[in-house]
Amino acid sequence: MMRLHCLGTAGYHPSETRHTSCYFVPEAGLVLDAGTGLFRLPPLLRTTHLDIFLSHAHLDHVIGLTYLLGLIPTTPVECVRIRGEAEKLQAVRQHLFSALIFPAQLDVQWLPLEKSDLQLPEKCVVSWFPLPHPGGSVGYRFQWPTRSLAYVTDTTADPIGNYIKQIQGVDLLLHECNFGDDQADWASKTGHSWTSRVASVAKVAKVRQLLLTHLDPRAPDHDPIGLAAAQAIFPATTVAHDGLVVPI
Ligand SMILES: [Zn+2]
Ligand SMILES: [Zn+2]
């Protein structure tokens, strides 16, 4: 069975209980985003390769790439592939790995996303799609023969958006929900999502399970986004927390 491990579930900056965006499927060596939560990777590794997919290059999604330099030599990992939009990879390499920002280069493959779908081991087909966000973001769908996972982060949830068809019917939709309904205006302004809109997306796309993440690190841990409002629209909704493990 494959499982999604939530290594970092905060948006923007870490809190005492949440690190920033990073998710891991150990059985597939699959990493979604590389926020500060990436430091939790080594004890979970099961493969000699890592496939890291970046949604975009905002710091809370890429800063953990710098941790790979120290982490990887202590693990059995021999091959690291980092994928994202070409201009985002270029920005990360030029700026985050500038000699003035970080002292060394990584021994990894930087692989820009191409137009067609991508095939990963375990018969996993990966497709991606653009998402509206300042600077742009991309969402991903990972389709195994009997399972599917969609990752949609840093965008304003839109039940009539172009990405609905891409995530249609997935077993697990991991979707950002940075804000509760009371901050819908602010969410719109900053290119993020609020609770009831994300739940509507899950309902319209007929997904099996919705997991809300990229949560405001300043919000209370017990109920950061008003879960009841989501469950009223889409009952199979849960809120992610660091350390949560979800079967896909
Ligand atoms: Zn973010
Ligand atoms: Zn962002």
Measured in Å, residue 216 CA sits from the centre of ligand 1 at 10
* Distance between Cα 80 and ligand 2 center (Å): 23
Taking the domains of the chain in order of start, what are their residue ranges?
Answer: 3-247
Run means of pLDDT, 10 residues per run, the chain, 248 residues? 96 98 97 98 96 98 97 92 98 98 96 93 94 98 97 98 98 98 97 98 98 97 96 98 97
CB of 131 closer than 8 Å to CB of 201: no
Query: 236 and 210 in contact (C-beta within 8 Å)?
Result: yes
pLDDT computed for residue 115 by the predictor: 86
- Full 3-state SS string of 27-67: HHCEEECCCHHHHHCHHHCCCCEEEEECCCCCHHHHHHHHH
In whole angstroms, give the CA distance from residue 246 to residue 248.
Answer: 6
* CATH fold for domain 3-247: Metallo-beta-lactamase; Chain A (3.60.15)
What does the pLDDT read at residue 121?
A: 83
Supply the pLDDT for residue 140. Answer: 98
The pLDDT, as a whole number, for residue 173 is 98
In whole angstroms, give the CA distance from residue 101 to residue 97: 6
Spacing, Cα 177 to ligand 2 middle (Å): 12
d(CA 184, CA 10): 18
Q: What's the CA-to-centroid distance between 19 and ligand 1, angstroms?
A: 11
DSSP 96: I
Q: Do 8 and 18 meet the contact criterion of CB atoms below 8 Å apart?
A: yes
C-alpha to C-alpha distance for 59 and 25, rounded to whole angstroms: 22
